[in-house]
Amino acid sequence: MATSESYALKIVPVLALSCAMVLAAASDGTLIDRSACVFPAYDKVPRIESYASKMEYETAIGDERFACQKLKYSSDGLPGAYAYYRSGATDRKQPMIVFNRGDYVVNNQLPLLIAMMHRLASEGFAVIAPMYRGSEAAPGHDEVGGADLADLKNVLPLAKNLGFADVDNLFLYGESRGGVMTFLAIRDGFPARAAATFGGFTDLAAYLQADPRANQLAHSIWPDYDDRQGQILASRSAIQWPERINIPLLLMHGGEDRQVSPAQTLNLASRLEVLKKKYGLHIFAGDNHILSTNRVERDRRAVL
């Protein structure tokens, strides 16, 4: 009889081949796997206090009106996403928000998002939050608005097959780096009816210059940064193409944001004003990068 170790050595190539066959057949948002979400205890989640109180967290994970699922789908790999939506039999599909999370490569992100997802779902929306390649144990390299943008775009065909989402009633919501993903999706014609962001950077060159730690990461994120610096910076800076923002956009920022200057949002708003675009602007005086103090009001404004 083969040992468990030798059996694993035999089966891994088969699994790899199977995954390769799936990807060869579909890299366009096809649902590969879905499973129920699993949540740790509140006090086991790092940084949770900035995102939710214990009551908010436990209410969100315990509200039986809603279902939470972890999804795996095809998009030049097998990135993950989280879906939170009203459960039970219904003939009416729910308008959908694609929530674009912040940060770079992350793991175990769901506990930080679930209270926000619960607030949005309580207003009648289904929420899908793509995690992007390279995060949550998914293969691939996150380019912060490069090839990983496909992971956002492929949420649309994914949602069409999930059964609960009204893909003709689609919205975008972005936090920090997710704000950039939101701007890029709008630029490329993603069929959202409106969008909202908070703490997003709109001028990548200015952001990197102001944040030495982020600047140090540039060559890890973009190995060819020295050769393509101009193209990389311009393509991810909405301040350079505000004329391509052609849906209503709400811009929010914390007045005491120490990670991304509020000027990033204010400068884009100024360009949108000159172009007579449909936008809203709110600076939350004294609040931080993710608007922790005003998180309920932040999400309320996003769905108005």
Whole-model pTM: value is: 0.90
Residue 92's pLDDT is 82
| pLDDT greater than 80 at residue 27 | no
| pLDDT greater than 70 at residue 169 | yes
| pLDDT greater than 60 at residue 106 | yes
In the chain the domains, ranked by start, together with CATH numbers, are 4-302 (3.40.50.1820)
The pLDDT confidence band at residue 20, using thresholds 50, 70 and 90, is: very low
Residue 292's pLDDT is 98
The pLDDT confidence band at residue 2, using thresholds 50, 70 and 90, is: very low
Residue 91's pLDDT is 66
The mean of the pLDDT values for the chain is: 91
Residue 6's pLDDT is 30
| pLDDT greater than 70 at residue 22 | no
Least confident of 16-20, 97-101, 146-150, 253-257: 16-20
Residue 88's pLDDT is 79
How many CA within 13 A on the CB side of residue 88?
6
State the CB neighbour count (10 A cutoff) for residue 219. 11
Residue 89's pLDDT is 59
| pLDDT greater than 70 at residue 107 | yes
The pLDDT confidence band at residue 291, using thresholds 50, 70 and 90, is: very high
3-state secondary structure the chain: CCCHHHHHHHHHHHHHHHHHHHHHHCCCCCEEEEEECCCCCHHHCCCHHHCCCHHHHHHHHHCCCEEEEEEEECCCCCCEEEEEEECCCCCCCEEEEEEECCCCCCCCCHHHHHHHHHHHHHCCCEEEEECCCCCCCCCCCCCCCCCCHHHHHCHHHHHHCCCCEEEEEEEEEEECHHHHHHHHHHHCCCCCCEEEEECCCCCHHHHHHHCHHHHHHHHHHCCCHHHHHHHHHHHCCHHHCHHHCCCCEEEEEECCCCCCCHHHHHHHHHHHHHCCCCEEEEEECCCCCCCCCCHHHHHHHHCC
| pLDDT greater than 70 at residue 119 | yes
For the stretch 42-92, pLDDT in tens is: 999 999 999 999 999 999 999 999 999 999 999 988 999 999 999 975 668
| pLDDT greater than 60 at residue 24 | no
| pLDDT greater than 60 at residue 216 | yes
